[in-house]
Structure 1
Amino acid sequence: MSIPSDITAQAVRFIERTTYEDLPGEALIVGRRCMIDTVGLYLAGSREGSVRILIDDALDQGGSADAPLPGAGSQKVPASLAARVWGTAGHAHDWDDTQVSHDPAHVYGLLTHPSVPPLTAALVVASMLGKVSGRDLMLAFQIGFEVECKISEWMKPLHYRRGHHTSGTVGTFGAAAAAAKLLRLEGEKLAHALGLAASFAAGIRVNFGTMTKPLHVGRACENGVIAALLAGRGFEADPAALDGTWGFFSVMGEGLDAEKAREGFGAPLTIVTPGVSIKPYPSGILTHQSMDAMLKLVLDNDLKPEQVERIRFFAGKNIIEPIRYPVARNHLQAKFSMPALLAMIVLCRRASHHEFEDAFVAGDAMQDLQARTDVINDLEIDALGYDKIRSRIEVTTTDGRTLVQWADERYRGGPSNPISDVGLVEKFRMCAEGVIGDTHQEELLALVRDVDGVADIRNLIKLVSGETEPANA
């Protein structure tokens, strides 16, 4: 099937023409929730070892004082370097939100983590520009979110199956679109920004479970900002880089779904329909139903760790292939290891970012229980298809019982079973703990909750970066 020749032009028209007044009320409500979630994740991620390395590197490089860094105080660095750090921090715990699709031909790994790239690019460019209103920030975020999600939705699953990491590849377009909107790029310059983004897009799944996985998103943010800034200076690229024989869709995924693409951008906005999932656990989204199933099994049976003889986990290839570590040796591998995640639930009855510590994951209890966990590809589950995340857990106890729990196919955190506003705030506070004080947590929450009404978002950026001295961190 030939690739439609007007996808880039459609994107340009959508970015140029969409105004704040075009955004439906539900999009604004969900957008604020996504922002609360993401801002918390910047704070939590700012303490990660990978992010500290990137902060040190950015400060050592120096350059124009465009934007601060999360949790790093008042020093500022060039916009592109700031975007790299903010984006990596937002994805560092693999706890950021996930796009939803109802296409039964889709695979979950093809869906992107949509909020970090456009929000990062918008915040960094806003810092560079100076006074930017919350309405303009929200508009840029929503536009980047939509462009990113529609490109991801229209791509064929081969993109992910070939090993591309969609949040790194497609995320670049989300960042570029958001940055371009705030920079007021139009026409050819806007098309050139998307063309540059198409060549910059990168990220391969072999690096899942390492520091480089969240850096994919950091680089998407960095490259999206660079694409918009260079295009604004007059740097040229192919003005139809998404389309045609050698365009992004063809080269990166051998095509797209032309019928879905004909619906166009914003019809409806993805953030509204089919929506977005806010993640309950800091691990790959493919793991969450199974973790909830294990938690239910543990609580329903008041199962103690010493009562577990063996765990058998049954799932299809859509879970087993990307969640690939048979035994996790560190917290990054644990995010992609069903034995580690199930063991964590048994041992702790929860899995927050505080449990994802190298010392705990490498400890005797975690290593022993992981070794007694079997991951089994169930062909019957495979045959049901990959439109939902399906799995079954069987626990053999030391007294000879076999406890069985199927995962609930309704995703907790998704539009049909969302995390409550209270739960979202609890997650934010957990992320902010130890990074900014209680008073500034409340101030930051209030700013993001009413971001559309904020005349100048610079104080929001200062609170995340730690420019404002914490009250009681």
Structure 2
Amino acid sequence: MLFLRCVLVAFATRALAFSSPNHGLSESEAAGGGEYFSKFSTLVPRAPVTNLTSTLSKIIADSATVPVPDAWRILARSHILDTLASIVACRDLEPSTLARELALSLSGGRGRSAATILGTHEQASIVDAAFASAMAGHGAEINDFVPSAFVQPGPSVVSVALALAETRGLSGDAVLRAVIVGYEFTSRIPKALGINNLQNANIANHGIGPTFGAAAAAASLLRLSEEQISYMLGYCAQQASGTWQWLLDVEHIEKSFVFAGMGAKAGLSAALMAEAGFRGVENSFDSEKGFITSKKFTGGDENLESLLDFGNKTELSETGYKRYPVGGPTQPAVHGLLSLLPNITVTEVSKVVVEMPGAADSFRSANMPALNLKYLVAIILIDQRLDFVSAQSRERMLGDQEVQALMLKVEVVEDPSQEPPPGEARTESARVKVEETGGRRHEVYVPYVKGYPSHPMSKEEVDLKALELMEPHLGDKRARAVIATTNAIDRLPRIGELVKLISR
């Protein structure tokens, strides 16, 4: 068991030297849109930026029928699989169980529009089911993420796509197309508004992006008209919300809501409202008093061009995988310590120093276990590995005296020299230094961890991660069947087959 138990040092060390292909694709194949968005290039205004609402509405409307390049299909399949594996693994964690209980209390049963709460055999109304499934998808720190946009698309977009496709009897190909356009909008909307603009306004990218992404995916599946989509975007704008106070959450419940459940519920609701005939502001992305023209998003790092290059790149290649069940910025330190383990005498450890770029204080004292580097270092040293359950255990972080004693020996400090130059993609890195009482010292610098967009996992590595996550819950045979079915999702006549495979 290589990915989550993380005991084999050779694997951890070798990962630093991998060539890091985009699932075996060339860089141009992974980024380029081929024919997929080529027809939109003539629609996109270059200067000034106008008619955004109608342009984006047409892109979403046409996403259900335009050709999709094979390179994008490969990437989308793997992200769907990664999300399903996360849902299976997090099914019984509290963010998931609370959301499921709420959904069942509101609309449980097998009504006309009921959808399966993913990972279970239970059903609720389509909106409530998608909400509960998304909460499960981000029940812990193991699903995919876009570091350049500060969003995590999979839980909301995939949950909405599967809920709609199941209730409407739609195909795997329709789901794949919906997921692709959903990922595009989840990532591009925060970039258009400005990452710093959002942060300065205390508005969470993590909630804004998935609302629009889930809605785009739903609209693609519902075959909404351009006019309906323009109204839908207005209802997304009215619901788009979330603050950075999720950083104060200690149990990953509110975080799961902001990152996943909220966007799934709001985005799907907006699409269903448009389908039902709800009308409103047609040009919310262009109107002087519309959403995107707010003074909060004007100037600064506002980047409307990110909404204008659909024909040049895909956000799928900007989406990473979490190799370990911990927050993205903590992954390099975890990886580095695991690689040092065979050389360390744990009982002799007197000090551990983790140097990292960015806001080190956030990961020095985080209340959430999977984000607290002092806790993660302690359990890795004690257990000689990192497992999924311990990485999420607040009880152990607060109640294990051996863990707390080791945490006192860990320092987490900011290292500005590890910051990437302006304009370069963020990869996250760490330097781990371990001192022993006898004078022995161990040190490793981890420039990146496989999984970041700059050094992506291969398809085979994503498959293996999914197997690691699902096998304890579904058994080896069924877990492999989920992987095989997802990797051929385009050929599924009805998505319900895949939904049943992950149910228990």
TM band (smaller chain): 0.7 to 0.9
Alpha-carbon RMSD across the aligned residues, in angstroms, is 2.6
Question: Counterparts of 1:248 and 1:340 in 2: how far apart (Å)?
Answer: 41
Question: Counterparts of 2:476 and 2:212 in 1: how far apart (Å)?
Answer: 35
Native 8 Å contact 2:185 2:212 kept in 1? yes
Native 8 Å contact 1:71 1:435 kept in 2? no
Per the alignment, in what secondary structure is the counterpart of residue 371 of structure 2? coil
Aligned residues: 444
Cα offset for 1:172? 0.6
Show the counterpart of 1:448: 486
In the alignment, does 2:224 pair up with 1:204? Answer: no
Match of 1:168 among 207, 210, 226: 207
> Partner amino acid for 1:280?
R
Show the counterpart of 1:70: 118
Native 8 Å contact 1:3 1:243 kept in 2? no
Structure 2 vs 1, CA of residues 27 and 379 (structure 1 numbering), >3 Å: closer, same or farther? Answer: closer
Q: How does 1:147-296 map to 2 (within 5 A)?
A: 147-158=185-196, 159-208=198-247, 209-210=250-251, 211-216=253-258, 217-243=260-286, 245-251=288-294, 253-255=297-299, 257-258=302-303, 260-261=305-306, 263-272=308-317, 275-296=318-339
Show the counterpart of 2:179: 141
Structure 2 vs 1, CA of residues 262 and 168 (structure 1 numbering), >3 Å: closer, same or farther? Answer: closer
C-alpha deviations, 1:319-375, integer Å up to 9, x for none?
425x345264xxxx0122121222233333433323223343332232222222122
Native 8 Å contact 1:345 1:351 kept in 2? yes
Question: Counterparts of 1:435 and 1:416 in 2: how far apart (Å)?
Answer: 32
C-alpha deviations, 1:80-100, integer Å up to 9, x for none?
111111111111112111225
Question: Counterparts of 1:166 and 1:464 in 2: how far apart (Å)?
Answer: 30
Per the alignment, in what secondary structure is the counterpart of residue 374 of structure 1? strand
Report which stretch shifted further, 185-194 or 360-369: 360-369
Structure 2 vs 1, CA of residues 455 and 387 (structure 1 numbering), >3 Å: closer, same or farther? Answer: closer
Structure 2 vs 1, CA of residues 160 and 465 (structure 1 numbering), >3 Å: closer, same or farther? Answer: farther
Match of 1:344 among 364, 379, 385: 379
Show the counterpart of 2:138: 91
> Partner amino acid for 1:79?
I
Native 8 Å contact 2:131 2:264 kept in 1? yes
Show the counterpart of 1:375: 412
> Partner amino acid for 1:462?
K
Question: Counterparts of 1:464 and 1:298 in 2: how far apart (Å)?
Answer: 35
Question: Counterparts of 2:459 and 2:425 in 1: how far apart (Å)?
Answer: 27
Question: Counterparts of 1:15 and 1:446 in 2: how far apart (Å)?
Answer: 29
Per the alignment, in what secondary structure is the counterpart of residue 175 of structure 2? helix
Cα offset for 1:288? 1.3
Per the alignment, in what secondary structure is the counterpart of residue 70 of structure 1? coil
Question: Counterparts of 2:297 and 2:407 in 1: how far apart (Å)?
Answer: 35
Cα offset for 1:37? 0.7
Cα offset for 1:427? 2.0
Question: Counterparts of 1:372 and 1:304 in 2: how far apart (Å)?
Answer: 14
Structure 2 vs 1, CA of residues 28 and 383 (structure 1 numbering), >3 Å: closer, same or farther? Answer: closer
Question: Counterparts of 2:277 and 2:135 in 1: how far apart (Å)?
Answer: 28
Question: Counterparts of 2:52 and 2:118 in 1: how far apart (Å)?
Answer: 35
Structure 2 vs 1, CA of residues 145 and 384 (structure 1 numbering), >3 Å: closer, same or farther? Answer: closer
Structure 2 vs 1, CA of residues 258 and 354 (structure 1 numbering), >3 Å: closer, same or farther? Answer: closer
Cα offset for 1:180? 0.9
> Partner amino acid for 1:127?
E
Q: How does 1:16-27 map to 2 (within 5 A)?
A: 16-19=61-64, 21-27=66-72
Question: Counterparts of 1:26 and 1:55 in 2: how far apart (Å)?
Answer: 35
Native 8 Å contact 1:8 1:242 kept in 2? yes
> Partner amino acid for 2:105?
D
Q: TM-score, normalising length from structure 1?
A: 0.86
Unaligned runs of 5+ in 2: 1-46
Per the alignment, in what secondary structure is the counterpart of residue 219 of structure 1? helix
Question: Counterparts of 1:437 and 1:405 in 2: how far apart (Å)?
Answer: 37
Per the alignment, in what secondary structure is the counterpart of residue 271 of structure 1? helix
C-alpha deviations, 1:214-235, integer Å up to 9, x for none?
1111111111110100111111
Unaligned runs of 5+ in 1: 102-109, 467-473
Structure 2 vs 1, CA of residues 365 and 238 (structure 1 numbering), >3 Å: closer, same or farther? Answer: farther
Native 8 Å contact 2:81 2:483 kept in 1? yes
Structure 2 vs 1, CA of residues 147 and 309 (structure 1 numbering), >3 Å: closer, same or farther? Answer: same
Show the counterpart of 1:334: 369
Cα offset for 1:430? 2.6
Show the counterpart of 1:10: 55
Question: Counterparts of 1:198 and 1:225 in 2: how far apart (Å)?
Answer: 13
Native 8 Å contact 2:135 2:256 kept in 1? yes
In the alignment, does 2:403 pair up with 1:366? Answer: yes
Show the counterpart of 1:463: 501
Show the counterpart of 1:397: 436
Native 8 Å contact 1:45 1:88 kept in 2? no
Match of 2:390 among 331, 337, 355: 355
C-alpha deviations, 1:4-37, integer Å up to 9, x for none?
4433222111111234552111100111111111
Show the counterpart of 2:350: 309
Q: TM-score, normalising length from structure 2?
A: 0.81
Cα offset for 1:382? 5.4
Report which stretch shifted further, 410-419 or 367-376: 410-419
Cα offset for 1:245? 5.0
> Partner amino acid for 1:282?
P
Native 8 Å contact 2:335 2:449 kept in 1? no
Question: Counterparts of 1:337 and 1:360 in 2: how far apart (Å)?
Answer: 12
Native 8 Å contact 1:312 1:375 kept in 2? yes
C-alpha deviations, 1:180-214, integer Å up to 9, x for none?
11111112211111111112122222223431101
Show the counterpart of 1:431: 469
Structure 2 vs 1, CA of residues 383 and 288 (structure 1 numbering), >3 Å: closer, same or farther? Answer: closer
